[in-house]
Amino acid sequence: MSAQANGPVELLQRLIRFDTVNPPGDERAAQEFLAERLGAAGFECELLGATPGRPNLVARLDGAASGPTLCLLSHVDTVLASASDWTHDPWSGDLDDGCVWGRGALDMKGQTAAEVAAACALAQGGWRPERGSLIVVVVVDEETGGSEGAQWLTATHPDKVRCDYLVNEGGGGILEYGERRLVCLGCGEKGIFRFTLNTDGVAAHASMPRLGDNALVKLAPLLARLAEGQPSYDLTAVPRAFLEQLGVLEDGDAAAALERVRAVDERLIPIVEPMLGVSLAPTRIYASEKINVIPARARVAIDCRVPPGLGESEALVRIEEVLGRDGYRLEWTEQVVGNTSPFSSPVADFVRDWVAGHDRSATVVPVILPGFTDSRTFRAAFPECAAYGFFPHRFATRFETDPLVHGSDERIDVRDLEYATTFFGDLARGLLG
């Protein structure tokens, strides 16, 4: 197998051409392709899955001496795409205007290609860890929660994927801030504390509405408060460090710090603000099942995200701050506590040193993801594991790439793809010798 055949551009083009939209997923062909490449390079490969069509790939390269295990993690399933909304076919893998185009180019087949290309180049060149092991883990089913992917794998085969260090999606993007370039290191993810607000009334025929008591209209003032209200901020360790590195935090006042950020570049506000506290977003509403019946019950579903280190009690304080305590019944529907890894560790320290050596105008800053990745599953399964989101870019900024994730015309700059491949190779040698 030639080195060019395992280059990140060719690997990404091939990966995009596998339609792995989830649901249904159907990732087997893509996983077999990657296993063949990694196996030919010298890795021991296994395909492990809950169902035959959706195996997870675990590729291992052991060193001669005991030591830490570094896991390069990614997923190959994607969200759907409508070809009519794209200028290039979503599954073409076209190389045009210096970019590889297609669904998954950024989320996250691009990182898969970079990690696999780096791992193959190391192994084909004769490198083996001086100590410990390098594992490349490519999972399925991330886009719908990971029940057949990371969750199943860590629960069913923990010893095959147990690791000390992990690098996954969720960081590496660049934020422009005045004259500064900020490179984001994903150190954690917010928790999920979803709930419904329920209201009660009296059913009646819709042609005589005053005979009833419409539970649906009782949601209206609650929705208005959610639209107009902003919970007070709860500044936890990682966003505090982020604001401190920007030099905008005084006396722990997150709201004032955010206004200082706004004064420099308002584009950062939608990215920075979710890190600072509890967020509340109404997303679904339910009432009468028939158009001619006044509903006796109504409910609205709220997607609530909570910073790591905080839980139900802190979320409830912020909910009541916005909504008050009366006029509804609250029912929790899902609770997952947020998770973090330290901003100082062998991986985090390596990232800072590597960026300093490759992009002297950039500063690495810690960030918290408002959403979640499979890193949360590995942190929960292996509490000693230091897990980070990092897929380094140098040319395209987050202002350019963030709108493309799950959107039309998703693409990645070839220079960034090759830049990240260099990083993953250097990371393995730096941590494992």
Q: Name every residue whose Cβ is closer than 8 Å to that of residue 348 and which is 6 or more positions away in sequence.
A: 185, 187, 341, 342, 386, 388
Helix (H, G, I), strand (E, B) or coil at 100: strand
Q: Can you tell me the distance from the alpha carbon of 269 to that of 262, in angstroms, rounded to the nearest whole number?
A: 6
- For residues 235 and 252, the answer to whether their CB atoms sit within 8 Å is yes
Q: Can you tell me the distance from the alpha carbon of 400 to that of 395, in angstroms, rounded to the nearest whole number?
A: 10
The active-site residue, picked from 77, 141, 410, 413, is 77
Helix (H, G, I), strand (E, B) or coil at 275: helix
C-alpha triplet 327, 331, 337: angle, nearest 5° = 130
Tell me 218's DSSP state: G
Give the phi and the psi of residue 83 in degrees, each rounded to 5. -60, -30
77 is catalytic: yes
In three-state form (DSSP H/G/I as H, E/B as E, the rest C), the secondary structure along 357-414 is HHCCCEEEEEEEECCCCCHHHHHHHCCCCEEEECCCCCCCCHHHHHHHCCCCCCEEEH
Helix (H, G, I), strand (E, B) or coil at 126: coil
Q: Name every residue whose Cβ is closer than 8 Å to that of residue 299 and which is 6 or more positions away in sequence.
A: 196, 197, 198, 199, 219, 285, 286, 287, 331
DSSP-assigned states of every residue in 319-367: HHHHH-SSS-EEEEEEEE--EE--SSSHHHHHHHHHHHHH-TTEEEEEE
The active-site residue, picked from 107, 115, 142, 410, is 142
19 is catalytic: no
Give me the active site residues, please. 77, 142
